[in-house]
């Protein structure tokens, strides 16, 4: 989607290695989110950010950390990748927490072997 | 805790038939409600949203949804399905409370046959 990009789009990594996914926005939105999508589970919130250096945990935060050192970038790190973290990861942005809805990136397909 | 339930993980319709995708929510405060669509290998796109104005909400591509507080429902409909409507659809709720994020249902895959 225009205004939000995720990188890389695809990645294969080995168990036990650290992995960082990047979300970049050009909309100057305050709120940024990381979700993972798995069959039968829909989208589940990993972490979110409500400003520079302000982050909080979501439903499935174990094994993940995030950082936001500037408004436009929100990084998701898998500290030591496991096969259970094989998933599609989506970043989203919003102007507010509620009524505006989210704009999603195109996703990162991560495979941990 | 807030939650969203989408009834039916897979719905199949014929081209030209009515599309009905069901969503029920639970929320302790008046919610904001959303429907998103995901085409293969793409991100999610906002179809429509309810933010406590009109209870019948019209969205893109001919879809609409009706907020029914008494039934805690927000079902998505389209009078006549097109082949291009085949996708996965997600209902989401935002409880309109500080420190919360959208909660998504598990999704419904819509198949359209000719």
Q: What is the pLDDT of residue B2?
A: 79
Cβ atoms of B2 and B31 within 8 Å: the answer is yes
Choose the mutation target among A102, A103, A107 for the interface with B, i.e. most B CBs under 10 Å: A102
- B39-90 pLDDT per residue, tens: 988 899 999 998 877 889 999 999 999 999 889 999 999 999 999 999 999 9
Cβ atoms of A35 and A89 within 8 Å: the answer is yes
A1–chain B Cβ distance below 8 A for any pair: yes
Kindly list the residues from chain B whose CB atom is less than 8 angstroms away from the CB atom of residue A43.
44, 90, 104
Q: What is the pLDDT of residue B41?
A: 85
CB–CB of B105 and A56 under 8 A?
no
Nearest to B110 by CA among B35, B43, B39: B39
Cβ atoms of B114 and A53 within 8 Å: the answer is no
Q: What is the pLDDT of residue A20?
A: 98
A26–chain B Cβ distance below 8 A for any pair: no
Nearest to A49 by CA among A21, A72, A26: A72
CB–CB of A42 and B104 under 8 A?
yes
* Helices and strands of chain A, counted as H and E runs: 0, 11
- B9-48 pLDDT per residue, tens: 999 999 999 999 999 998 766 788 999 999 988 899 999 9
Strands A64-70 and A87-94: unpaired
Cα of B91 to nearest chain A Cα, Å: 10
Residues 6+ apart with CB under 8 A from B84: none
Q: What is the pLDDT of residue B56?
A: 94
Q: How many Cβ atoms are within 10 Å of B55's Cβ, its own excluded?
A: 12
Kindly list the residues from chain A whose CB atom is less than 8 angstroms away from the CB atom of residue B9.
40
CB–CB of B99 and A58 under 8 A?
no
Q: What is the pLDDT of residue A109?
A: 97
Cα–Cα distances in angstroms (integers) from residue B15 to residues A101, B10, B77, B78, B89, in the given order: 30, 16, 14, 11, 17
Q: What is the pLDDT of residue B98?
A: 60
Question: What does pLDDT average to in each consecutive run of 10 residues of chain A (113 residues)?
Answer: 88 97 96 94 94 93 97 97 97 81 93 97
Cα of A90 to nearest chain B Cα, Å: 7
Kindly list the residues from chain B whose CB atom is less than 8 angstroms away from the CB atom of residue A105.
43
Nearest to B101 by CA among A96, A9, A83, A15: A96
């Amino acid at each position: 989607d225009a205004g939000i990009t995720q990188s890389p789009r695809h990645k294969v990594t080995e168990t036990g290695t650290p992995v960082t996914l990047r979300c970049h926005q050009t909309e100057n939105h305050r709120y940024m989110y990381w979700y993972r999508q798995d069959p039968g589970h829909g989208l589940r919130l990993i972490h979110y950010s409500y400003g520079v250096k302000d982050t909080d945990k979501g439903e499935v935060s174990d094994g993940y950390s995030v950082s936001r050192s500037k408004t436009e970038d929100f990084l998701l790190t898998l500290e030591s990748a496991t096969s259970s973290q094989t998933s599609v990861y989506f970043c989203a942005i919003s102007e507010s927490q509620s009524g505006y809805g989210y704009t999603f990136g195109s996703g990162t397909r991560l495979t941990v072997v | 805790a807030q939650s969203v339930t989408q009834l039916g993980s897979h719905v199949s319709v014929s081209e030209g038939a009515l599309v009905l995708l069901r969503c029920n929510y639970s929320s302790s405060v008046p919610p904001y409600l959303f429907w998103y669509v995901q085409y293969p290998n793409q991100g999610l796109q906002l179809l429509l949203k309810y933010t406590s104005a009109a209870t019948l909400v019209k969205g893109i591509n001919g879809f609409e949804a009706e907020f029914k507080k008494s039934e805690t429902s927000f079902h998505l409909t389209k009078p006549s399905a097109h082949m291009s409507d085949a996708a996965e659809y997600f209902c989401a709720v935002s409880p309109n409370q500080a420190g919360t994020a959208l909660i998504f249902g598990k999704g419904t895959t819509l198949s359209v046959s000719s």
